[in-house]
Amino acid sequence: MRELRKVGLLLRDEEQVYPLDGMRAIFAERGIATVLLDPEDEGPADLDLVVAMGGDGTVLRALDLFHRCPVLAINFGTVGFLTAGDSKDLEQIVGRVMEGEFIVSERLVLNCNYPDGSLRAINEVSLRTISHLSYIDVFVNDTKIRTIVGDGVVVGTPTGSTAFMLSTGAPIVMPDVRCMVLDGINEYNFSSRALILTPDSRVRLHVSPETRGRDIWLIVDGRQVRRLEPEQEIHIEQAPFTAKLIYLEQNFFFRNLSSKLSW
């Protein structure tokens, strides 16, 4: 990571009390400028670090908006699996980062192209139904591999393997592994299994005309994006850049599995 000159501060919401004055003072002592970021705007292009204060949703927002620079996540939320530490240790965490006592974890990011737009995903992209069974044709590198019948399909990253994909029974994947994970959601098939794909795979999910109703939703990192009609499809592939998260120790992943997910 390059020398710190300007740091962005991203907050979970305006209702919670954050130690902004203390944070600004810590950085100011080192001659480092700080700027409060708008969660709906990409902010200045010359940021060297973003400090995200909130839960995992805030972290995902920071990684999406500010993918050019590393993100230091401090947990002000509930679980905070992606964070480097809790709010009570904020000053200690920031101090260690400024002393260079940290590692940068680079994460695979997905690009999702849908009928009228595109989005990036840090965790997962899914097609989900609300009521009727969905029939989703799955193509990998232009070859149809199967039709998944159930509540939908999810394509996730190693980072996403500890998020929504936990509920599908997909494997937990270490974040430095480069792969995608494809799985059905409540699939109507006892023999179904998650599929591990190479990171350069191109995935196409096509809503089969066998699908009844109009309640198939495209959901990206937990955000409802739009409905899809039968015969519409989405395309998913690896983004040309990685997301960068800062941690204080090498074993952060297994520590968080134990402390946050009771694994």
Q: Does one domain contain both 49 and 64?
A: yes
What is the model's pLDDT at position 146? 95
Range of 137's domain? Answer: 109-240
We report the CATH number of the domain holding residue 23 as: 3.40.50.10330
* 60 occurs within a structural domain: yes
Query: 72: left (phi > 0), else alpha (psi -120 to 50), else beta?
Result: beta
Q: Give the length of the chain.
A: 263
We report the CATH number of the domain holding residue 123 as: 2.60.200.30
Element (H, E) at 225: strand 223-228
Q: Does one domain contain both 136 and 221?
A: yes
Q: Does one domain contain both 35 and 51?
A: yes
What would the two tokens of residue 147 be? 């039709």
Q: Which residues are the active-site residues?
A: 56
Q: Does one domain contain both 41 and 57?
A: yes
Q: Does one domain contain both 149 and 228?
A: yes
What is the model's pLDDT at position 214? 73
What is the model's pLDDT at position 1? 67
What is the model's pLDDT at position 18? 80
Q: Does one domain contain both 92 and 126?
A: no
What is the model's pLDDT at position 14? 63
Residues of the chain with pLDDT under 70: 1, 14-15
Residue whose tokens read 């994970």? 181
What is the model's pLDDT at position 202? 98
What span, in angstroms and rounded, lies between the C-alpha atoms of 41 and 159? 24
What is the model's pLDDT at position 20? 83
Q: Does one domain contain both 96 and 211?
A: no
Taking alpha carbons only, the member of 242, 260, 263, 215 closest to residue 71 is 242
* 95 occurs within a structural domain: yes
What is the model's pLDDT at position 227? 95
What is the model's pLDDT at position 262? 86
What span, in angstroms and rounded, lies between the C-alpha atoms of 234 and 61? 22
pLDDT digits (tens, 9 = 90+) for 3-35: 889 999 998 776 677 888 888 888 999 899 999
What span, in angstroms and rounded, lies between the C-alpha atoms of 262 and 85? 16
What is the model's pLDDT at position 141? 98
Number of domains in the chain: 2
What is the model's pLDDT at position 132? 85
Q: Does one domain contain both 236 and 252?
A: no
Position 54: which residue type? G
